[in-house]
Chain A
Amino acid sequence: MELLSNLALGFATALSPMNLFLGFVGCLVGTLIGVLPGVGPIATIAMLMPLTLKVDPTGALIMLAGIYYGAQYGGSTTAILVNMPGEVTAVVTAIDGHEMAKRGSAGRALGIAALGSFFAGSVATLIIAAIGAPLTRLALLFGPAEYFGLMVFGLGLAIVLARGSVLKALIMVVLGLLLSTVGTDLETGQERLTLGIPELSDGVDFAVLAMGVFGIAEILRNLENPESRNVAIAQIGRLLPSREDLRRCFGPIVRATGIGSVLGILPGNGAVLGPFASYALEKKLAKDPSRFGRGAIEGVAGPESANNAGAQTSFIPLLTLGIPPNAVMALMVGAMTIHGLIPGPQVMTKHPALFWGMIASMWIGNLLLLVINLPLIGLWVRLLKVPYRLMFTTILLFCAIGIYSINNNPYDVYFTAFFGLAGYLFIKLGLEPAPMLLGFVLGRLMEEKLRQALALSEGSLMTFVERPVAAALLAIAAAVMLVAVLPAVSRSRQKAFQE
């Protein structure tokens, strides 16, 4: 069995003392920067690239990869504890995760996040090993029209995501879409909605938006309501998920692994859709959907597994084709190139030790991360007991430094403050930020793919009907949106009848 002999080679490479050490360092650093708001794998990998020149390429890549998926583990920590997603993909985790923390279940939330991520990471690694190459060919079939269909489907999810009124969720989604148009137009280079501010010519940064609307707004909310904050934190419940929790979350974790793995392969950062899709699916499948948004553990298990699965499978296009599907992978390309190893379709055959060594190290890395993160839960939970008057200034400082470091640009900090204000207004007006973030993420991709599809078809909308996959996705999207909107419409009709 070729797979087994390849895996043997991989593990032999990954378990060499140097590579093991580098993997451990990568995972540790990754967890750390995942926890820190703003600073993310991109900034860190860029920073550490020169250091990796002192070791061989395989070791260097193992370490950098560890930083990337390690950050997925760490990002959920701050999302759960203080509603500040340390990583873009942890935004969905923050919704129910932070609610759980407020009710004293931070330990269970952190625990299920780690366990779910480990399961998802292991399965995803297996997928890469077994069917990585053929899967890429599938991803290549996804042209702009198909991608657009997927994005519209994602929009349908946004409505399901909402806690309260459908109308308000729609408003937030459209607001997010509108925000995503700020910046330079892709085709003509013209500035759109930038108010003449040059720092906006590349659009709004997602981390800035998420940090402001989630994290800063949460600080403002807590400063206003000191009483409600202290009571919940006083009771720290179990430190780890119970057997009941594990039983409940098994289904969501498995489904999320599938969703995340598939989406991670798609170019253009399709992986970011994974957590949202998983959350929406679990909410729809749950016997009591109203629990979601109030601390449902499935709402943490699913998204966390999805984002870790996506992080692993996003290596596939890099390793099999040499085409990076997202910005972090583009950095990996750079790291490999600096070592004289330009990634491409022949990496698997020309450098098998590197290819299989990386895959093996991903599994080992996931195990290491579980070992690192589970004991830390006790520490994090104890951190919640720090008096808030000290905590919030610390969170603010970390946030400011982290945001500044994304682009070494003070304007990012100003924008975060602006979005913090916006987030505060949203809370007062009863508008939820999560659908807006989803709209924002989808908006860019959606518009890009729509215009590419139309450009390539010379303006013909028939392209969406003629291409089978695109047509199918759009049909499903329409169905999802109907299903989401109809109950609300019929409910209000019923109310009208009753009156």
Chain B
Amino acid sequence: MAGMQGRILRQDFLGGLAVIGVAALAYWLARKLPASAAGGMGPGALPKGLAVLLGGLGILLLLNAFKSERLARWSVRGPLFVLGALMLFGVTVRPLGLALAGPILIAAAGFASSEVRWRETLVYGLAMTAFCVGLFKFALGLPIPLAPWLLGY
């Protein structure tokens, strides 16, 4: 049983599977596009061709799997909060403006690291957002919403 797990957890085994998966997805998405059209290649030629090529390479990778390194530890906390913070920013920046989206991002991202100290992060988040507002909004004049709920822009 341990031997079996050892096999699956090899880098290239999962890598090969992932690559084949992506190739299959790409081919499926491009399935309706014609590969040839009047005067040469059609819109589907390159996507389908590349998908097939990628799938082939993925199979090669799979064959190589058993000699490759073991998979390193994965963590959930870091990716979850960093990426989550980014998504939150995207959702909040237009309705709530930079004034709120900034601190929200910094607070959410703070959860990603176990080293983070709360009061420090709060103060820092507000200060950094103020700095960014000054830099991006006033110095550079980017049309990023500041606080639509308060100022209207």
Direct contact of A and B (CB under 8 A): yes
A residues apposed to B, CB below 8 Å: 29, 33, 39, 43-44, 47-48, 167-168, 170-171, 174-175, 177-178, 181, 185, 187-188, 190, 192-193, 195, 216, 219-220, 223-224, 226, 387-390, 392-394, 396-401, 404-405, 408, 410-411, 413-414, 416-417, 420-421, 424-425, 428-431, 447, 450-451, 454-455, 458-459
* C-alpha gap A219/B87 in the complex (Å): 16
- In the complex, the answer to whether A397 meets B132 with C-beta atoms within 8 Å is yes
- In the complex, the answer to whether A220 meets B57 with C-beta atoms within 8 Å is no
- In the complex, the answer to whether B94 meets A410 with C-beta atoms within 8 Å is yes
- In the complex, the answer to whether A223 meets B82 with C-beta atoms within 8 Å is yes
What B residues does A29 contact at CB under 8 A? Answer: 140
Query: Which of A170, A417, A431 touches B15 (beta carbons < 8 Å)?
Result: A431
Taking the closest CB of chain B, its distance from the CB of A66, in whole angstroms, is: 15
What A residues does B40 contact at CB under 8 A? Answer: 451, 454-455, 458-459
- In the complex, the answer to whether A420 meets B116 with C-beta atoms within 8 Å is no
Given contacts A410-B91, A413-B87, 15 further A-B contacts (CB under 8 A): A167-B64, A171-B58, A181-B46, A192-B47, A193-B47, A220-B78, A224-B75, A392-B82, A393-B109, A393-B121, A398-B132, A401-B102, A417-B86, A428-B74, A429-B12
Question: If the complex has contacts A397-B129, A424-B79, A431-B15, are A190 and B43 also in contact, measured as CB distance less than 8 A?
Answer: yes
What B residues does A396 contact at CB under 8 A? Answer: 82, 85-86, 105-106, 109
Question: In the complex, which residue of chain B has the Cβ closest to the Cβ of A181?
Answer: B47
* C-alpha gap A420/B128 in the complex (Å): 23
Residue among B41, B68, B71, B142 with most chain A CB within 10 A: B142
Query: Which of B18, B53, B94 touches A429 (beta carbons < 8 Å)?
Result: B18
What B residues does A425 contact at CB under 8 A? Answer: 18
B residues apposed to A, CB below 8 Å: 11-12, 14-15, 18-19, 22, 26, 29-30, 33, 37, 39-44, 46-47, 50-51, 53-54, 57-58, 60-61, 64, 68-69, 71-75, 78-79, 82-83, 85-87, 89-91, 93-94, 98, 101-102, 105-106, 109-110, 112-113, 115-117, 120-121, 124-125, 128-129, 132, 136, 140-144
What A residues does B105 contact at CB under 8 A? Answer: 393, 396-397, 400
- In the complex, the answer to whether B79 meets A421 with C-beta atoms within 8 Å is yes
- In the complex, the answer to whether B69 meets A430 with C-beta atoms within 8 Å is yes
* C-alpha gap A397/B75 in the complex (Å): 22
Query: Which of B26, B68, B90, B113 touches A223 (beta carbons < 8 Å)?
Result: B113
Taking the closest CB of chain B, its distance from the CB of A218, in whole angstroms, is: 11
The 5 closest A-B pairs by CB, nearest first: A454-B40, A413-B90, A185-B43, A410-B90, A223-B78
* C-alpha gap A447/B43 in the complex (Å): 10
What A residues does B60 contact at CB under 8 A? Answer: 167
Taking the closest CB of chain B, its distance from the CB of A349, in whole angstroms, is: 36
What A residues does B73 contact at CB under 8 A? Answer: 224
- In the complex, the answer to whether A47 meets B43 with C-beta atoms within 8 Å is no
Question: If the complex has contacts A410-B91, A458-B39, are A216 and B82 also in contact, measured as CB distance less than 8 A?
Answer: yes
Taking the closest CB of chain B, its distance from the CB of A120, in whole angstroms, is: 27
- In the complex, the answer to whether A404 meets B93 with C-beta atoms within 8 Å is yes
- In the complex, the answer to whether A174 meets B50 with C-beta atoms within 8 Å is yes
List, sorted by A's number, 11 A–B pairs whose CB atoms are closer than 8 Å: A174-B53, A178-B51, A223-B78, A224-B73, A394-B106, A394-B128, A401-B132, A405-B143, A413-B86, A414-B90, A417-B90
* C-alpha gap A195/B106 in the complex (Å): 31
Total contacts A-B at CB 8 Å: 194
- In the complex, the answer to whether B113 meets A389 with C-beta atoms within 8 Å is yes
Question: If the complex has contacts A170-B57, A401-B98, A401-B144, are A421 and B83 also in contact, measured as CB distance less than 8 A?
Answer: yes
Query: Which of B37, B74, B90, B116 touches A389 (beta carbons < 8 Å)?
Result: B116
What A residues does B87 contact at CB under 8 A? Answer: 413-414, 417
* C-alpha gap A224/B102 in the complex (Å): 24
What B residues does A185 contact at CB under 8 A? Answer: 33, 43
- In the complex, the answer to whether A178 meets B41 with C-beta atoms within 8 Å is no
Question: If the complex has contacts A39-B140, A175-B54, are A454 and B83 also in contact, measured as CB distance less than 8 A?
Answer: no
Taking the closest CB of chain A, its distance from the CB of B37, in whole angstroms, is: 7
What B residues does A387 contact at CB under 8 A? Answer: 115
Query: Which of B19, B51, B71, B109 touches A171 (beta carbons < 8 Å)?
Result: B19
* C-alpha gap A48/B139 in the complex (Å): 11
